[in-house]
Structure 1
Amino acid sequence: MPIETLDIAEPFFTIRLITDERSYRVDDKVILLNLSENPVRIRKQSLGALQSAVLADTVAKDVTHAAVIERFADYDDEDALMARVRDTWPSAFDVRREERLRGIGHYMSPKTWVGQFGFTLYHSSTVPLNVGLHQEHAFCPVPGFREVHTQIMGFGKMQQCREKDLATLYLEELMAPGTTHRPMYDDEGNFPWHQFETITPSIFMAVEMLPEGATPPEL
């Protein structure tokens, strides 16, 4: 199926997975995240693996595998939209029961797996979020697990530290709508101490990737 629609972000956004499309027309603003090792071509430029951008009124070519987020730019009142999200999605703590998520405004959509890729949206309402530095991902304890995040609304920063202490920060990437941070895992899927921190209330998409042969965990 070259185009598959995910319903995890409805009724707020529409997410489509594009597979093996030589030419994909974009009219209104969308965020396109390239999930393939093969570059996606936009006019005379390209998006490499796990790179994303906001596109509008253009054609994406040679789309081997990509996620497209629609309708993120349709809201004049983002605060009102995020209030509706909080009324709809459960808190991440209630779903995942991780102690670092207790007592903060952090909400999550349903999760879905398509092949080796898992998709979830998160809304972080607390500023600062203080979500907590972490290396392990208890919700997906599969060797070789990888993950990136794509900003949809609001602004934040992805922080990496040498130790479980923000004083050891060594790399920080700003996150704006359409941005995906650079992969931070090594060849074995090991992560540094890291966290997402809000600058403003935010919504972002997490994309989890399993090595070939691994089975997605129970939802």
Structure 2
Amino acid sequence: MPRNAETPLNFSGPRVQALLVQDVKDYHVSGPAVVVNTGTSDVHLARTPRKAIPPLSSTILTGVRIEEAASLLILRVKDDTDIAGIAREPGWDLLGDLLGDSTTPTEDATLPFPRDTPLWKSPQDHAGLIELDPAHLLAERAEPRRLQPFEIRANLWFAPAGTDCFIHNQHDFIEVHTQLHGLGRMQKFTEQDHSTLYEDLPMSPGYTTSQPFCSTGPDGTYLYPWHQYRADTDCVWLAVEYHPMPHRHP
């Protein structure tokens, strides 16, 4: 693979341009662009004082050189546009349509996703491979012990102002979210009930949730609190997911 290899992601479009950049070395970001560090090491900017974009975080950069990184996601949002039109771009779907006809409570008595929720999902794309120790990534131990292979996947979401995007607590992957357009928030609850809100994290463009919400379970699964995204204005945000892959045997 050539250095600074740029691959447009399959949800890149006229309103949000999205690139995967791999084997990064002395890479110039013309900007303004949201730069997401999907790796497990600091990504340094060629500026004094020498500062870093920490793992699983992001910032907005303009006219700066990135020294080195395994891979980055770089997203540019066109501001002078009808952002709601992104849901009409090819491949976007209302989440309720993707989930099908299930309208009954699940076996563990949790409420089902309301199919009429105005929440749209872009196509999802492969965004690289990585080896990591989940417990270390989730700040459960100071040093990594056993690295495991993960696939990174990414997609966009859109919701109009005032949308509660459903309180849930089930994922079989590690996820973080990056705000691209508008103002929103990630929220945590003690139960699947809005009145039990206990943490409210405001999100503005360029911000990524500082830590994944989950912890590791004893059987290798991921334990999430009840949580949801809420759109205060019309919002577009990025989801980055880390999916465990089967272990390879010699």
TM-score (norm 1): 0.85
Q: Which amino acid aligns with 2:36?
A: L
Any stretches of 5+ residues in structure 2 without a counterpart? 103-111, 130-150
Is 1:180 aligned to 2:208, yes or no? Answer: yes
- DSSP-derived class of the 1:94 partner: helix
Q: Summarize the alignment of residues 153-172 of structure 1 with structure 2, pairs less than 5 Å apart.
A: 153-172=181-200
Of all paired residues, the percent bearing the same amino acid is: 25
Large movers: runs of 4+ above 3 Å = none
1:104 aligned partner: 117
Q: 1:121 aligns with which of 147, 156, 168?
A: 156
Q: CA separation in 2, counterparts of 1:54 and 1:194?
A: 26
State whether structure 2 residue 207 is matched by structure 1 residue 205. no
Query: CA contact under 8 A between 2:184 and 2:232: conserved in structure 1?
Result: yes
Looking at structure 1, the residues matched to 199 and 162 of structure 2 have their Cα atoms a distance apart, in angstroms, of: 18
**What's the C-alpha RMSD, in Å, of the aligned pairs?**
1.8
**CA spacing shift, 1:81–1:169, aligned 2, 3 Å:** closer
Deviation of 1:55 (Å): 0.6
Moved more, 174-183 or 16-25: 16-25
Structure 1 or 2, whichever has the larger Rg, is: 2
Q: CA deviation at 1:101?
A: 4.2
Contact 1:30 1:54 in 2 (8 A): yes
- 1:166-193 residue CA offsets vs partner (Å, 9 max, x unmatched): 3322221111111111211113421110
| Residue type of the alignment partner of 1:52 | S
Deviation at 1:213, TM superposition (A): 2.2
Number of matched residues? Answer: 202
Q: How many Å separate the matches in 2 of 1:131 and 1:146?
A: 18
AA in 2 matched with 1:136: Q
* Structure 1 unaligned blocks of 5 or more: 215-219
State the partner residue of 1:217. Answer: none
Q: Which of residues 57, 60, 67 is equivalent to 2:66?
A: 60
Scaled by the length of structure 2, the TM-score of the pair is: 0.75
Deviations 1:76-117 (A, max 9, x none): 24xx232x2232322111113374242122111111224401
Question: What are the residue-to-residue correspondences of 1:41-56 with 2, within 5 Å?
Answer: 41-42=44-45, 43=47, 44-56=50-62
Contact conserved, 1:158 with 1:174, CA < 8 A, in 2? yes
